Structure 1
Amino acid sequence: MKTILLGLLITLTLISCQSNNNDFDNYFSKSQQDSLLTNIVTYLYLPAPEATNTTKFQPQFRGFYAKNTPNFKLQKYYQAENGWNYFFLIRPVGSSSAFKRGVLGKFKLAPNSFMPTAFEEVANTPHLAEEVVKERGNYLFQELIKNGNLDKQTPMKQYIEWPDEHLAYDRKTNQWITIKPY
Structure 2
Amino acid sequence: MRPAPAVVAMGVAGCGKSAVGEALAAVLGAAFVEGDRLHPPENVARMARGEPLTDALREGWLDAIGQRIAVSVASGQGVVAACSALKRSYRERLRGFCKDIVFLYLEIDPATAKQRVGSRPGHFMPASLVDSQFATLEAPAADERALTLDATRPVGDIVASAVSLLGEANS
TM-score, scaled to structure 1 = 0.27
Q: Give the number of the structure whose residues are more often helix, by fraction.
A: 2
Comparing both chains, which one has the higher relative contact order based on Cα–Cα distances under 8 Å and sequence gaps of 6 or more? 2
Structure 1 or 2, whichever has the larger Rg, is 1
TM-score, scaled to structure 2 = 0.28
